[in-house]
Each structure stands twice: as C-alpha cells, then as structure tokens.
C-alpha cells in the first residue's frame, strides 16, 4: 500500500467519524428540542414560564444550577414536560373575584365598589428577619404577615385599603388574582409599587422578580 493510499484511508476514516459525530449530535439536539430553551438577551424565568404556560417555580426546579439573575445569552434552559412538578397553592374562594367590571368587584359573595385602579410594579417579600428589620414579621398594624398582606406607598394607596390584585404569576399566590389588604409599608415602596407577602424563603421570593400588575382599590 502506497503512502498516498494510507493517507487517503486515514482521511476517509476521520471524515466518517466526524460525520457520525455530527449525526449523533444532531439527533441528540433534535430529541431534546422540545425540552430545551436557548436563552436570548431578554430571557428570564418569568418570560420562559409565560411562553410555555408553566410556573416560575417549575422552571426554577428544572434548572437548579441556573442563576435567575444572571442568565447568559445562548444558555440552555430545561423546560419540564411533566406538569405534575407544579407546586401550586389552591386559593380560598374568598380571595378570588367572581366577577369584575369597571365599577364593582364581587368576591366571596361580597360586592366591593372600585374606588380607583393603579398600574403598579410588584415585588415579593417574606417573613425573614433580614427583610423586616427590628419590627419582625408583622405588618404596619402589628398583625402577623400572611398571604393577602401587601405593602404600599401610603401616599398612593391608603393603609388599610382593601385591594384586588391581578396580573402576577407566582405559584405561591392564588391563581388569577386575589383579595388583599394594604396593611404594610416600607421605605423602598414608593410611588406605583407594591410588595406582596409570600410564604417561603427569601430566595424563593426573589423568583417573583418584578412584575406588572393591576391593583383595584376597593371600598
């Protein structure tokens, strides 16, 4: 066998191996195409959850090694296909509106007049000592923090006001909207911003991020 022939045979084997590798890689990519999302510049757990009709907690659970605050362009995010992983919290009927119109909201069999609506940015907080300072896990009035407690800017929403909040997406809150109370305040809560109490840890609450919500101030 000539040197030329040997080199041609080596090249053929290398080329065949390369093609086989590409084929395997393509097959693997095709196989998981339905369960992998490639991140772009604007990708967050919230946008991915909304796109696939899942919850933020589902996306976070499927990507435990991904920092939600530092998702890189091109990063591969796993999209869970088993929706049984969702850890949703059933909302009491009294926290959901039965009907909403421009002037009235009915929830838990009780009718509330709508005084005004506020388009607000919302964040979430917990009962962790690091989030509540010297006062501890109580609201402005000294009551224990609970789902339904919301911190507001008293100059925008009067403390003690009954609220109905829609537009958020978080597994630890009632699905679709909830009756709440403007029962807390904080130096960082200024203008059209609210802070919604959620159960769990600070790390879990951070997954809420910043969301745009509509707040109905009720009478």
CATH for the 93-218 domain, from 3.40.605.10, 3.30.70.890, 2.40.40.10, 2.130.10.10? 2.40.40.10
| pTM of the predicted model over 0.75 | no
Banded pLDDT at 6 (limits 50, 70, 90): very low
pLDDT in tens, 39-79: 887 788 888 877 777 788 888 888 999 998 899 888 888 88
State the CATH architecture for 3-85. Answer: Roll (3.10)
Q: Do residues 135 and 185 lie in contact, with contact meaning Cβ atoms separated by under 8 Å?
A: no
Q: Give residue 176's pLDDT.
A: 82
Tokens of 174: 């009632």
pLDDT in tens, 88-140: 344 565 687 777 776 888 876 788 899 999 999 999 999 999 999 887 899 99
Give residue limits of the domains in the chain.
3-85, 93-218
CA distances 196 to 91, 123, 133, 139, Å, are 15, 6, 17, 12
């Amino acid at each position: 066998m000539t040197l030329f022939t040997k080199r041609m045979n080596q090249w053929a084997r290398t080329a065949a191996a390369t093609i086989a590798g590409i084929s395997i890689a393509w097959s693997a990519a095709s196989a998981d195409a339905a369960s992998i999302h490639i991140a772009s510049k604007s990708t967050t757990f919230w946008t991915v959850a909304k796109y696939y009709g899942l919850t933020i907690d589902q996306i976070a659970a499927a990507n435990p090694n991904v920092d939600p605050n530092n998702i890189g362009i091109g990063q591969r995010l796993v999209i869970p296909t088993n929706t049984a992983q969702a850890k949703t919290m059933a909302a009491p009927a009294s926290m959901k509106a039965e009907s909403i119109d421009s002037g009235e909201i009915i929830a838990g069999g009780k009718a509330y007049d709508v005084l005004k609506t506020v388009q607000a940015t919302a964040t979430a907080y917990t009962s962790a000592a690091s989030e509540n300072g010297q006062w501890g896990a109580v609201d402005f009035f000294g009551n224990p923090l609970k789902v339904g407690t919301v911190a507001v800017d008293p100059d925008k929403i009067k403390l003690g006001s009954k609220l109905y909040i829609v537009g958020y997406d978080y597994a630890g809150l009632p699905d679709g909207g909830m009756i709440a109370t403007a029962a807390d305040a904080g130096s960082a809560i200024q203008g059209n911003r609210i802070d919604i109490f959620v159960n769990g840890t600070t790390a879990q609450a951070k997954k809420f991020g910043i969301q745009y919500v509509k707040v109905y101030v009720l009478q």
